[in-house]
Homo-oligomer: A and B are copies of this chain.
């Protein structure tokens, strides 16, 4: 990934600083970065892939999708779909295959500042993103869960802005205090854009918000043409109610954003054993059918309009019916989805790192670590829900964001793999060390590869037991609490220039208090 010249309005003072840094760094040689190549892990055989594909197409043709809107039925039947005996919209094999050839193979969600990478989605590229729209937050002060607010959305955005191993800020929490759908949507747009200049993602509650949101994007970008040239947002939404029905309100959003040529960043999330078959293979069949149905709609509305193949086969704990987002079954199923998406040559998003733990503890660590690295190795293009998400997607945590940044750095370093070349094979270095000093400390290669081969955690501890005790014997959670507190107190991005901010506040009912958008004066 090469760095691009800034096209944002606010790149003034920072641009110079960044340019200076650019001189001395070659991004492709950093240990980890957005867009590393995954795909070295493939849970399914070619035969498995063809079997799942065929079964999904049979389901789309024989069972179809229920609850289509009149608009979609009219559009789809014109192109070859039909309403079957059960009143459901059926998709013939040939039509699906044809629309698959028209689908977008890749898309980019742009950063608004060259100090952050753009998110290129397609091929085997791997990017880690927040998202999840939790309804509660682990309060920083009380360390207990409470309903999330608009300020929490903004605060998580600016914390993520400072965490380099998270590549896109997707909507972490819902501002539960905003009940008016339009006010809700427009304030979400503002909060995510005000909190970070990284690529962003959010959802709409109502299709009526979309033109207003587009207006705000254009104001922030410095013109609609500038936004269209480098769109910095992708749009979530769940157009399917599993099993195999459309969600009409979200389907309207999907049709509208497709007409506008925006990035459709949907999520289709059946739960094995509840709203999908309990056999993992069966859940893959159903979710593939559901995702392909949405892909058909998008490409019937606007051929080639970007859409993530966002089949998210979730699972419940069959003992209790509890959502088990941090489970092995979800991890391996999401990896399979990345492979199915690659089989179709579609840009993929999956969900990983959704711990069922309530606190940033060992369970959170291993559930997030396993699910995140598996998704990346499988080559999922965008790994959503990948930072901060706790309590089975019901909560978000500032400490978890900080911890997950280190975890994701580790996952990315694994995904990157091992470069084998005459230089890295080190034969001459080995000879020199063995026949010379007997070690590699201070060797030229060691200094040279220190930053290119190794990722260094910011908050994790590698000290000796003695040093750890001397420094207060803190757990990762305690260190992350301190680091998050520092970011909350100090890291304000000013991601929207003052004049634009003024214009936005005059035009829209912005609820985020300006005095929460700068460090408190002591």
- Which A residues are within 8 Å of any B CB, using their own CB? 40-45, 47-48, 51-52, 55, 58-59, 62-63, 66, 86, 136, 144-145, 243-244, 273-286, 315, 317-324, 326-329, 331-333, 335-336, 356-370, 372-374, 377, 391-392, 394-395, 400, 403, 406-407, 409-414, 416-421, 423-427, 429-431, 433-435, 438-441, 443, 445-446, 448-450, 453-456, 460-465, 468, 473, 475-477, 480
| Bound-state Cα–Cα, A364 to B332, Å | 22
Contact between chains at B55 and A446 (CB < 8 Å) = no
Contact between chains at B462 and A320 (CB < 8 Å) = yes
Contact between chains at A278 and B418 (CB < 8 Å) = no
How far apart are A384's CB and chain B's nearest CB, in angstroms? Answer: 18
**What are the nearest 10 A-B pairs in CB distance?**
A365-B365, A282-B426, A366-B369, A328-B413, A369-B369, A277-B426, A281-B424, A363-B476, A41-B41, A362-B365
Contact between chains at B320 and A423 (CB < 8 Å) = no
Given A277-B430, A328-B414: A360 in contact with B357 (beta carbons within 8 A): no
Contact between chains at A460 and B356 (CB < 8 Å) = yes
Sampled A-B contacts (16; CB under 8 Å): A48-B418, A59-B427, A243-B434, A244-B434, A274-B441, A278-B440, A279-B449, A282-B427, A315-B454, A318-B454, A320-B462, A329-B413, A336-B418, A356-B461, A358-B465, A392-B462
How far apart are A87's CB and chain B's nearest CB, in angstroms? Answer: 11
How far apart are A424's CB and chain B's nearest CB, in angstroms? Answer: 4
Contact between chains at B328 and A445 (CB < 8 Å) = no
| Bound-state Cα–Cα, A124 to B454, Å | 29
Name which residue of chain B comes closest to A365, CB basis: B365
| Bound-state Cα–Cα, A449 to B283, Å | 13
| Bound-state Cα–Cα, A369 to B369, Å | 6
How far apart are A427's CB and chain B's nearest CB, in angstroms? Answer: 5
Given the complex, which residues of B lie within 8 Å of A430, measured CB to CB? Answer: 59, 63, 243-244, 277, 282, 285-286
| Bound-state Cα–Cα, A409 to B326, Å | 13
Given A363-B461, A410-B367: A281 in contact with B377 (beta carbons within 8 A): no
Given the complex, which residues of B lie within 8 Å of A391, measured CB to CB? Answer: 465, 468
Contact between chains at B281 and A420 (CB < 8 Å) = yes
Contact between chains at A362 and B465 (CB < 8 Å) = no
Name which residue of chain B comes closest to A282, CB basis: B426
Name which residue of chain B comes closest to A329, CB basis: B454
Given the complex, which residues of B lie within 8 Å of A273, measured CB to CB? Answer: 440-441, 446, 450
Given A145-B465, A370-B414: A477 in contact with B362 (beta carbons within 8 A): yes
Partner of A435, one of B86, B367, B372: B86
How far apart are A107's CB and chain B's nearest CB, in angstroms? Answer: 27
Given the complex, which residues of B lie within 8 Å of A465, measured CB to CB? Answer: 136, 145, 358, 391, 394-395
| Bound-state Cα–Cα, A275 to B440, Å | 6
Given A373-B374, A430-B59, A460-B356: A410 in contact with B279 (beta carbons within 8 A): no
Q: Which of A336, A364, A424 has the most chain B CB within a 10 Å cutoff? A: A424
Given A392-B462, A414-B331: A445 in contact with B358 (beta carbons within 8 A): no
| Bound-state Cα–Cα, A285 to B391, Å | 44
Contact between chains at B278 and A449 (CB < 8 Å) = yes
How far apart are A134's CB and chain B's nearest CB, in angstroms? Answer: 11
Name which residue of chain B comes closest to A444, CB basis: B278
Partner of A426, one of B285, B315, B326, B429: B285
Partner of A369, one of B365, B416, B438, B439: B365
Given A410-B327, A465-B395, A468-B358: A52 in contact with B476 (beta carbons within 8 A): no
How far apart are A223's CB and chain B's nearest CB, in angstroms? Answer: 42
Contact between chains at A329 and B285 (CB < 8 Å) = no
Given the complex, which residues of B lie within 8 Å of A460, measured CB to CB? Answer: 326, 356-357, 363, 367
Contact between chains at A464 and B322 (CB < 8 Å) = yes
Name which residue of chain B comes closest to A48, CB basis: B420
How far apart are A138's CB and chain B's nearest CB, in angstroms? Answer: 10
| Bound-state Cα–Cα, A133 to B247, Å | 57
Given A362-B403, A363-B403: A42 in contact with B40 (beta carbons within 8 A): yes
Given the complex, which residues of B lie within 8 Å of A144, measured CB to CB? Answer: 473
Given A361-B475, A366-B369, A373-B370: A418 in contact with B320 (beta carbons within 8 A): no
| Bound-state Cα–Cα, A356 to B410, Å | 13
Name which residue of chain B comes closest to A243, CB basis: B434
Given the complex, which residues of B lie within 8 Å of A418, measured CB to CB? Answer: 43-44, 48, 280-281, 284, 332-333, 336
| Bound-state Cα–Cα, A440 to B276, Å | 6
Name which residue of chain B comes closest to A333, CB basis: B418
Name which residue of chain B comes closest to A420, CB basis: B48
Given the complex, which residues of B lie within 8 Å of A51, measured CB to CB? Answer: 420, 425
Given A48-B418, A243-B430, A356-B462: A453 in contact with B278 (beta carbons within 8 A): yes
